[in-house]
Amino acid sequence: MFDPNKLDSKSAVKMSKSTSTARPLPASSRESTPTSTPAFVATARALCVPMRAPSFASNVFRLAARELRDAARSKWFLLYTAAFVALGLGVSYVSAASSGGTGLSGFGRTTAGLINLVILVVPLMALSAGAGSIASDRERGMLAYMLAQPITRLELLLGKFTGLATVLLTSICLGFGVCAGILAWKGLRADPVALASLVGLTFLLAMAMLGTGLLISVITRKSSVAMGVAIFAWLTLVFVSDLGLMAGAVALRMRIENLFALSLLNPMQVFKMWALVSADTSLDVLGPAGLYATDTWGGGVVWIFAAALSLWIVLPLSVAAFLFSRRSPI
């Protein structure tokens, strides 16, 4: 029976040398158990782990659990989580200091600061986590070894996605949890519901960027290249596309409905606008384009944001799954 939790990267490298030509086992051999199992091993197994057919869900779950454990051991997760928590701490402290007794801290600084922080840090975390996963496994020979086990490629990809998404969720919850703790402790006037919805939206953004990262990881051969492409994608989504759109809006005298529609292509902008709406702030903060959105769709604009962000989650992941199932594993 396949148990990826028993694997670690060192043994994988060792083993991959001997099984480098391995292919996934044919479906018929999956369920078969070795005939010459010693009686005591069978007994021990029966005692400890009840025998189950390795279903799709259980394989995904096991792969996800393994991914989680690897991430918890790795440096990047700790580093990013620490950075996110520290920045969240900083934002809430600064907003606590700036409101200094006037009681005038509304939407203003805390939420704006948190939105900015999320847009900068979370996509970077998610993209690099996604980009680093399959490419580095491929480089180390781990991928070939994993695929020699009785699992499908889709299971492997979804397992990685689920595991890394859980890792990101943990990191986000830690960061916002500390931030909410500070806000509660300092008695700042902030809406817990708005903060909770910001957490949810951040997780959606993280999943969208994780899917994109996995896509990058599937289409690149080397992990260093994957990382580079991920950083480039991050830079594009955070700065370059917005700057380009700003320049385009001025140079082409773009109509506001076109400007708004184009901004929906960028998941960061969608996240930002959705976060503003969920913080009970009218989109007219964003000038004529926001006013246009409010006038045209009213509260229904949220569904547009939801559709855009879920497309960003589903589409890159599906493309990654499609390409991954077609490409040679090694």
Partner 1 sequence: MTSCVFIFATISFAWLQPPTSVGAKITPQMKNTIPIPNPLQEKIRAAAPGDTINVAAGVYRGELVIDKPIKLVGQGRPTLDGGGNGDIVTITAPGVELRGFRVSGTGIDLDKENCAIRVKAPHTTIEDNFLEDVLFGIDLKESPDSVIRGNHIGGKALDIARRGDGLRLWRADRTLVEGNEIHDGRDAILWYSSGVIVRNNKSHHCRYGFHLMFSNGVTIEQNDLFDNSVGVYFMYSSKLKLIGNRMLRNRGPSGYGLGLKETDDYLIKGNIFVGNCVGIYIDGSPFATPNSGLLTENTFAANDIGVTFLPSVKGNHLWANSFIDNFEQVSILGRGELTGNEFDREERGNFWSDYPGYDRDGDGVGEANYESRLLFENLTAREPSLRLFMFSPVHQAVDFVARAVPAVRPEPKFTDYYPLIEPPVKHGVDLATAAPRAMAALSASLLSLALGVLAIVFAGPVRDALRDRAHFRARAIGGIA
Tell me the C-alpha distance between 135 and 142, whole Å: 10
Residue 47 interacting with partner 1 (CB under 8 A)? yes
Cβ–Cβ under 8 Å, residues 167 and 129 = yes
Q: What does the block give as tokens for 121?
A: 């840090």
Name which position in 37, 282, 318, 325 contacts partner 1 (CB under 8 A).
282
CA 30, 31, 33: angle at the middle one, nearest 5?
Answer: 105
Name which position in 142, 143, 227, 286 contacts partner 1 (CB under 8 A).
286
| Contacts to partner 1 from residues 89-128, by CB under 8 A | 98-99, 101-109, 112, 115-116, 119-120
Name which position in 154, 291, 306, 330 contacts partner 1 (CB under 8 A).
291
3-state secondary structure of 33: coil
Cβ–Cβ under 8 Å, residues 194 and 279 = yes
Name which position in 59, 133, 223, 263 contacts partner 1 (CB under 8 A).
263
With CB under 8 A, what is the number of residues at the site for partner 1? 79
| Contacts to partner 1 from residues 56-75, by CB under 8 A | 65, 68-69, 72
Cα dihedral 265/268/274/277 (nearest 10): -120
Amino acid making up residue 168: L
| Contacts to partner 1 from residues 145-164, by CB under 8 A | none
Residue 249 interacting with partner 1 (CB under 8 A)? yes
| Contacts to partner 1 from residues 24-43, by CB under 8 A | 38-40, 43
Residue 231 interacting with partner 1 (CB under 8 A)? no
Q: How far is the CB of 325 from partner 1 (least distance, A)?
A: 29
- Residue number with CB closer to partner 1 (195 or 208): 195
DSSP 6: G
Q: With left for phi above 0 and alpha for psi between -120 and 50, is residue 144 left, alpha or beta?
A: alpha
Closest by CA position to 172, among listed 189, 197, 193: 197
Q: How many CA atoms lie within 13 A of 249 on its CB side?
A: 17
Largest Cα–Cα separation, the chain: 79
DSSP 35: T
Cβ count near 211 (within 10 Å): 26
Residue 86 interacting with partner 1 (CB under 8 A)? no
Q: How far is the CB of 269 from partner 1 (least distance, A)?
A: 7
Residue 242 interacting with partner 1 (CB under 8 A)? yes
- Residue number with CB closer to partner 1 (98 or 152): 98
- Residue number with CB closer to partner 1 (76 or 239): 239
- Residue number with CB closer to partner 1 (20 or 282): 282
Q: How far is the CB of 233 from partner 1 (least distance, A)?
A: 15
Name which position in 7, 231, 256, 302 contacts partner 1 (CB under 8 A).
256
Residue 207 interacting with partner 1 (CB under 8 A)? no
Q: Considering only 25-33, 141-149, 276-284, 306-314, which stretch makes contact with partner 1 by CB under 8 A?
A: 276-284
Name which position in 13, 55, 76, 177 contacts partner 1 (CB under 8 A).
177
Q: How many CA atoms lie within 13 A of 126 on its CB side?
A: 30
Residue 170 interacting with partner 1 (CB under 8 A)? yes
Phi then psi for residue 44, to 5 deg, are -60, -45
Residue 197 interacting with partner 1 (CB under 8 A)? no
- Residue number with CB closer to partner 1 (13 or 49): 49
Q: Considering only 12-20, 26-34, 224-232, 269-277, which stretch makes contact with partner 1 by CB under 8 A?
A: 269-277
Cβ–Cβ under 8 Å, residues 323 and 221 = no
Tell me the C-alpha distance between 34 and 32, whole Å: 7
Does the CA dihedral 145-146-147-150 come out positive or negative?
positive
